[in-house]
């Protein structure tokens, strides 16, 4: 059980990132940008800026904008996140940004001006693309990075921060496009999130992870300070050996499962980790009881 590089896994991740980024870029260029659907995220903001620039005779490529904005957002993530997560995220950001600008001149608008059709197909295709990238443990930047930073600096739950940032971008798009466009952008954004979650690992958005490891302290610190999630240590004892074996309980979103696997693998490749679905999660980092 060496700690060398798993070439097949790296190759699989590269393929998923490239294919996922290409699908996402196709959805953006074929359905979102031509029809003025700013469906949240850095790409949504770039779509708004692109339209404003076009009105004033300026060509501001959407892909180049996302690359620059995400590059600025990635600086604190590189300092605090794991190297593998940073590498996969940078790969997703660069690939998706390049494909968006590469496809822009050659991919025709496919919605025929039907905003509902664009929202539905754009949401499905972009969601599948993002889901493939997220399966590697990385992402394509945007509101996920902003949400993680808000969680670490301000203690705002990741899900709440993502929704707030995306909602602000949709609101900003109203005077540039229209209220109707903004409403359809919200449909696209919702569908994209649902498809993304389904591609990653089924429809459930929360997971419970139980971890038994000799390096439980190191894993717990990484979960709290790199992943931004709470971690509970449960006293356990091996029946055969009679030795105490501290067990860690972590509740997290399925988008963060890949990052958790990297943390545990780096700290202790021999660790036992069990991941199960959670029907609902309340409390710190999730919705409060009062919301239901």
Structural domain spans, the chain: 7-201, 206-291
206-291 to CATH, choices 3.20.20.120, 1.10.1380.10, 3.30.200.20, 3.30.70.120: 3.30.70.120
User: For residue 140, which of 179, 90, 101 has the smallest C-alpha distance?
Assistant: 90
Distances (CA, A) of 107 to 100, 120, 169: 10, 18, 25
Half-sphere exposure for 159 (CA within 13 Å, toward CB) = 17
Q: What is the pTM of this model?
A: 0.70
Q: What is residue 187's predicted lDDT score, i.e. its pLDDT?
A: 93
- The secondary structure of 177-236 as a DSSP string is S-HHHHHHHHHHHHHHHHHHHHHHHSS--EEEEEEE-TTHHHHHHHHHHTS----EEE--
* 8 A C-beta contact, residue 20 and residue 132: yes
Q: What is residue 53's predicted lDDT score, i.e. its pLDDT?
A: 92
Residues with Cβ within 8 Å of 249's Cβ and at least 6 positions away in sequence, in order, are 208, 209, 210, 231, 232, 233, 234
Q: What is residue 204's predicted lDDT score, i.e. its pLDDT?
A: 56
6-34 residues labelled b (16+ CB within 10 A) or e (exposed): eeeeeeebeebbbebbbbbbbbbbbbbbb
Q: What is residue 77's predicted lDDT score, i.e. its pLDDT?
A: 62
Triad 200, 205, 211: Cα angle to 5°: 85
- Residuewise pLDDT in 10s, the chain (292 residues): 445 567 888 888 899 999 999 999 999 999 999 999 998 888 999 999 999 999 988 999 999 999 998 888 777 666 655 677 778 888 888 999 999 999 999 999 888 889 999 999 999 999 999 888 888 877 777 777 777 677 667 776 666 777 788 888 999 999 999 999 999 999 998 898 888 878 876 555 678 889 998 888 899 988 888 887 888 888 877 778 777 788 899 988 777 888 888 889 888 888 889 988 776 556 555 555 554 4
């Amino acid at each position: 059980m060496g700690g060398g590089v798993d070439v097949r896994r790296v190759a699989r991740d590269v393929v998923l990132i490239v294919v996922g980024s290409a699908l996402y870029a196709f959805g953006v260029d074929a359905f979102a940008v031509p029809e003025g659907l700013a469906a949240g995220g850095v790409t949504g903001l770039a779509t708004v800026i692109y339209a404003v620039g076009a009105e004033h005779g300026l060509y501001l490529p959407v892909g180049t904008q996302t690359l620059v904005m995400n590059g600025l957002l990635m600086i604190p993530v590189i300092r605090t996140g794991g190297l593998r997560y940073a590498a996969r995220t940078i790969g997703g950001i660069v690939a998706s940004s390049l494909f968006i600008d590469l496809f822009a001149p050659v991919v025709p608008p496919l919605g025929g001006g039907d905003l509902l059709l664009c929202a539905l197909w754009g949401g499905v295709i972009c969601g599948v693309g993002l889901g493939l990238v997220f399966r590697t443990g990385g992402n394509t930047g945007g509101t996920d990075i902003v949400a993680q930073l808000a969680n670490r600096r301000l203690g705002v739950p990741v899900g709440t921060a993502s929704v707030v940032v995306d909602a602000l971008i949709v609101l900003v798009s109203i005077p540039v496009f229209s209220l109707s466009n903004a409403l359809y952008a919200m449909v696209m954004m919702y569908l994209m999130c649902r498809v993304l979650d389904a591609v990653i690992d089924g429809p459930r958005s929360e997971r419970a992870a139980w971890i038994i490891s000799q390096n439980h302290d190191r894993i717990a610190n990484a979960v709290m300070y790199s992943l931004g999630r709470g971690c509970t240590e449960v006293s356990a004892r091996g029946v055969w050996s009679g030795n105490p074996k501290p067990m860690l309980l972590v509740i997290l979103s399925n988008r963060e499962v890949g990052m958790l696997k990297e943390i545990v693998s780096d700290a202790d490749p021999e660790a036992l980790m069990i991941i199960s679905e959670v029907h609902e999660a309340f409390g710190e980092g999730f919705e409060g009881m009062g919301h239901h």
